[in-house]
Amino acid sequence: MIYKLISIVVSAAIPIISLSASSGPDKIIPQPVEYSISEGIYNLKPDGSDVKVYLNSSDFAAKVSDLPDFAREEAYELIVGKKGVKIYAMTEEGAFRASQALEMMRLLDRDIQYCTVFDYPRFQHRGIMLDESRSFKGKDFVKKQIDALALLRMNVMHLHLTDAAGWRLQIDAYPNLTDHVAWRVGETYHEWEGLGYPFTNAEDPDAYGGFYTKDDIREIVAYAAERHIDIIPEIEMPGHSMEVNRAYPEIACVGEDGKPRPFSWDLCVGNEGTFKFLETVLEEVIELFPYKYIHIGGDEAVKKDWGECVNCRKRMQEEGMTHRNELQGYLIRRIEKFLNERGRTVIGWDEIVETGLPEEAVVMSWRGTPGGVKAASEGHDVIMSPNSYVYLDYYQDLIRKEPKAVGHMQSLRHVYKYDPLEGIAPEYHHHILGLQGNLWCELIPYAAHAEYMLYPRAFAIAEIGWTPQDQREFFNFRERCLRLITVFRAMGYNTFDLFNESLRAQTGRLRFDDPTFKLL
């Protein structure tokens, strides 16, 4: 069957920036699995009429028959020759990935070399997380980043929508969440913290924040689906939930004096009202987000108030618990059962491994790699997201030349050297679903700053997730990054200045006479 691929139509509004005599599969990110280049160049027609798509042909089906299901669905063959462009794929998703590889070639240079590409992803989950709670940037920003992920052949965007610093999702049953705790005083998380955690309303001239209406989310989800990107919502529990306790103190932990603790960091696991709240919220979340995964957090619960809460102590006694840590496992398992009954799968940060991991839950390993290694070895699916490699709020160059950030320097080179299968025994490799870069935004209140932290390190995450490990080489990758940064800037993205990256960030070395140093 043959189709014209509508999504490949060239936009005359986007400038073509050329850093080479022509473009081809050797210039793009992620690097394709297999490609060959022959003499001759081709210019795409602006209306896309010269791009033909063939779905589910018998020859291509035979070529991808040994691939895992996820790779087969995204696999494609792309042929550029003197008569135009042919794309072969099993699915529309595969055809779209091919169109984006072709589009990146076109953006790099109108002269595309004759070539044949056979390509498919290494991992099924290749994602980026945006922390919209600490720093709300809105649907236009999110859609712009979806465009970037699509071009990089990534397939997941994780939206961190709720946290102590702001609730960002309209919930009809609980209007106080957006009326009272979607706006705060203090642009950054730490400014707000220093002021004593003040919330306010949209009319306050000092207000910082906002939220997504249900129509906003439907628009974002539909926009992403057109680009074959799934959206994972995160509704944080039981920790990082002070905003919920401030909006609805009647479900907060209660001390011996009978008074609620609205400044408590954690949800009250002893109060049945907490579960009514969570289940009602999740019902509305399920209606908005069609992807099978729901992220429920599970990290950094303080648990201090649980030891002093009469309701939590009662719950512990009724359930035969001996330590308040068990309350978190109780909540996670109960919510997982609720979501499983509705056809959804829970994702949680790696702390959920410590409090009784539900059988079907997926672990997102963030505290380095040990949590993911342990979960995979116990037969659980894992998304690797270690702060030691892919936390994008960390410095990407020398501290003295960069805006204030978190942690140590995680340069492009440092991110690129990560392998999600490192430390995983071969018999458990199938449990590693992929990897994800996380952009936490305690110190990143604006869109331009967020993009500066994302790109080009997101390029590295895209290539790690797609390209076979033995085909990756940093210096070749960095040269391709320099070309692609120029394209991203022309499209209006505010990227890190890789052209003026320090020697230390480029090499991990301080001296030019170091034998491992290669001048770039």
- So which residues are the catalytic ones? 163, 240, 300
User: Helical H runs in 35-188?
Assistant: 58-63, 69-74, 92-108, 139-151, 176-179
Whole-angstrom distance, CA of residue 218 vs CA of residue 211: 14
- Whether cis (ω within 30° of 0) applies to the bond prior to 198 is no
* CB neighbour list of residue 459: distance below 8 Å, 6 or more residues apart: 29, 152, 412, 477, 481, 484
* CB neighbour list of residue 492: distance below 8 Å, 6 or more residues apart: 144
DSSP 353: G
**Triad 222, 224, 225: Cα angle to 5°:** 65
* CB neighbour list of residue 256: distance below 8 Å, 6 or more residues apart: 308, 310
Whole-angstrom distance, CA of residue 469 vs CA of residue 480: 17
Q: Do the beta carbons of residue 114 and residue 120 sit within 8 Å?
A: no
**How many other β-carbons are positioned within 10 Å of the β-carbon of residue 203?**
7
Tokens of 160: 């961190």
